[in-house]
Amino acid sequence: MSLISRGFQRRREVEASPDRVPPGQYVTNDFPVLSAGPTPRISAEEWRFRVTSERGEETTWTWEEFSALPAEAVKVDIHCVTKWSKLDTDWRGVSVDTILKGVGSSAAFATAHSYGGYTTNLPVVDLTGGKAWIAFQYGGQPLAPEHGGPARLLVPHLYFWKSAKWIHRLELRDSDRPGFWESLGYHGYGDPWKEQRYAGD
Amino acid sequence: MERTALRGRLTWLEAEVVQLVQETARVKTIVFRVPGWTGHLPGQHVDIRLTAEDGYQAQRSYSIANANNNEHVALTVEAVENGEVSPYLVDELVAGDRIELRGPIGGYFVWEPSLGGPLQLIAGGSGLVPLMAMIRSQMSYASPVRTNLVASARSWEELIYRDELEKLSRERDDFDVVYTLTRSQPHGWNGYGRRIDKDLLAASTFAVEEAPLIFVCGPTGFVETAAAIMLELGHQPGGIKTERFGPSGG
Amino acid sequence: MNSDTHLDGNSIGSLLQDLFGREMTDQRACCDACGAINPLATARVYVDAPGHVVRCAICGTVVLVAVTVPTGVRISFQALRWVELAP
Ligand SMILES: Cc1cc2nc3c(=O)[nH]c(=O)nc-3n(C[C@H](O)[C@H](O)[C@H](O)COP(=O)(O)OP(=O)(O)OC[C@H]3O[C@@H](n4cnc5c(N)ncnc54)[C@H](O)[C@@H]3O)c2cc1C
Ligand SMILES: [Zn+2]
Give the CATH number of the domain where residue B183 resides: 3.40.50.80
Residue C71: the pLDDT is: 92
Instruction: State the CATH number of the domain containing residue B19.
Output: 2.40.30.10
Instruction: Choose one of B87, B105, B123: the last residue of a domain.
Output: B105
Q: Does A29 touch chain B (CB under 8 A)?
A: no
Residue B245: the pLDDT is: 96
Comparing alpha-carbon positions, the chain C residue that sits nearest to B227 is C42
Q: Please tell me which chains touch A, using 3 or more CB pairs under 8 Å as the contact test.
A: B, C
Q: Does A186 touch chain C (CB under 8 A)?
A: yes
CATH number, domain A26-31+58-194, options 3.40.50.300, 3.60.15.10, 3.90.420.10, 3.40.140.10: 3.90.420.10
With bands split at pLDDT 50, 70 and 90, how would you rate the model's confidence at A45? very high
CA of B39 to the centre of ligand 1 (A): 24
| B49 and B100, same domain (yes or no) | yes
| B52 and B151, same domain (yes or no) | no
Q: Does B238 touch chain C (CB under 8 A)?
A: no
| B78 and B159, same domain (yes or no) | no
Residue B230: the pLDDT is: 98
User: Among A25, A30, A66, A53, which residue's Cα sits nearest to residue A167?
Assistant: A66
For residues B156-177, give the mean pLDDT.
95
Beta-carbon-side half-sphere exposure of residue A132 (alpha carbons within 13 Å)? 25
| B120 and B51, same domain (yes or no) | no
Q: Decide: C24 and C17 in contact? Cβ < 8 Å.
A: yes
- pLDDT above 90 coverage of chain B, percent: 86
Q: CB-CB: which of A4, A11, A30 is closest to B51?
A: A4
Domain boundaries, chain A: 26-31+58-194
pLDDT digits (tens, 9 = 90+) for C11-30: 999 999 999 999 999 999 99
Task: Find out whether the beta carbon of B168 lies less than 6 Å from any atom of ligand 1.
Answer: no
For the beta carbon of residue A31, count every other beta carbon within 10 angstroms.
Answer: 14
Residue at B2 is within a domain: no
Q: What does A78-142 look like in DSSP terms, one character per residue?
A: EE-TTSEEEEEEEEEEEEHHHHHTTS----SEEEEEETTS-EEEEEGGGTSSSS-EEEEEETTEE
With bands split at pLDDT 50, 70 and 90, how would you rate the model's confidence at A79? very high
Q: What is the residue with the minimal CA distance to atom 31 of ligand 1?
A: B83
Rounded to the nearest angstrom, the minimum Cα separation between C56 and chain B is 15
Taking only residues 44 to 83 of chain B, the set having a beta carbon closer than 8 angstroms to any beta carbon of chain A reads: 49-54, 56-58, 82
| B92 and B191, same domain (yes or no) | no
For residues B28-33, give the mean pLDDT.
98
* Choice from B57, B61, B129, B245 to test ligand 1 binding pocket (greatest atom count within 8 A of CB): B245
**pLDDT tops 70 at residue B186:** yes
Residue at B54 is within a domain: yes
Rounded to the nearest angstrom, the minimum Cα separation between B14 and chain A is 8
| B142 and B226, same domain (yes or no) | yes
Comparing alpha-carbon positions, the chain B residue that sits nearest to C20 is B8
**Burial group, residue B52, by CB count within 10 angstroms (0-12, 13-18, 19+):** middle
Residue at B121 is within a domain: yes
pLDDT digits (tens, 9 = 90+) for B207-247: 999 999 999 999 999 999 999 999 999 999 999 999 999 98
**pLDDT tops 50 at residue B3:** no
Q: How many domains does chain B have?
A: 2
What is the reported pTM? 0.93
pLDDT digits (tens, 9 = 90+) for A159-196: 999 999 999 999 999 999 999 999 999 999 999 999 99
| B95 and B119, same domain (yes or no) | no
* Choice from B77, B80, B90, B131 to test ligand 1 binding pocket (greatest atom count within 8 A of CB): B80
* Buried residues in B128-156 as b, exposed as e (16+ CB within 10 A): bbbbbbbbbbbeeeeebbbbbbbbbbebe
Can you give the C-alpha Rg of chain B in angstroms?
18
E strand or H helix at A48? strand A48-52
For residues B114-125, give the mean pLDDT.
94
Q: What is the residue with the minimal CA distance to atom 37 of ligand 1?
A: B247
| B100 and B155, same domain (yes or no) | no
Instruction: Choose one of B84, B105, B126: the last residue of a domain.
Output: B105
For residues B194-198, give the mean pLDDT.
97
Q: In the β-sheet with B27-33, what is the strand arrangement from edge to edge?
A: B57-63, B45-51, B98-105, B13-24, B27-33, B72-78
| B94 and B141, same domain (yes or no) | no
Comparing alpha-carbon positions, the chain C residue that sits nearest to B103 is C14
Q: What is the residue with the minimal CA distance to atom 52 of ligand 1?
A: B245
Task: Find out whether the beta carbon of B60 lies less than 6 Å from any atom of ligand 1.
Answer: yes
Residue at B137 is within a domain: yes
Task: Find out whether the beta carbon of B91 lies less than 6 Å from any atom of ligand 1.
Answer: no
- pLDDT above 70 coverage of chain A, percent: 98
With bands split at pLDDT 50, 70 and 90, how would you rate the model's confidence at A49? very high
Residue B1: the pLDDT is: 35
Task: Find out whether the beta carbon of B206 lies less than 6 Å from any atom of ligand 1.
Answer: no
Q: Decide: A111 and A71 in contact? Cβ < 8 Å.
A: no
| CB-CB under 8 Å, B10 with C17 | yes
Rounded to the nearest angstrom, the minimum Cα separation between C1 and chain B is 10
With bands split at pLDDT 50, 70 and 90, how would you rate the model's confidence at C3? low
Contacts of A36 in chain C (CB under 8 A): 46, 49, 51, 53, 62
User: Among A73, A182, A87, A84, which residue's Cα sits nearest to residue A136?
Assistant: A73
Task: Give the torsion sign (CA, A115, A116, A121, A127).
Answer: negative
**pLDDT tops 50 at residue B6:** no
Contacts of B220 in chain C (CB under 8 A): 4-7
With bands split at pLDDT 50, 70 and 90, how would you rate the model's confidence at A11? confident
**pLDDT tops 50 at residue C40:** yes
Task: Find out whether the beta carbon of B108 lies less than 6 Å from any atom of ligand 1.
Answer: no
Residue at B1 is within a domain: no
pLDDT digits (tens, 9 = 90+) for B57-77: 999 999 999 999 889 999 999
| B97 and B52, same domain (yes or no) | yes
**pLDDT tops 80 at residue A42:** yes
| B118 and B240, same domain (yes or no) | yes
pLDDT digits (tens, 9 = 90+) for B98-109: 999 999 999 999
Instruction: Choose one of B86, B105, B124: the last residue of a domain.
Output: B105
Residue at B249 is within a domain: no
Residue A18: the pLDDT is: 80
pLDDT digits (tens, 9 = 90+) for A15-31: 677 889 999 898 988 88
| B135 and B216, same domain (yes or no) | yes
Full residue range of the structural domain in which residue B51 is found: 7-105
With bands split at pLDDT 50, 70 and 90, how would you rate the model's confidence at A1? low
Q: Decide: A121 and A176 in contact? Cβ < 8 Å.
A: yes
Q: Does B49 touch chain C (CB under 8 A)?
A: no
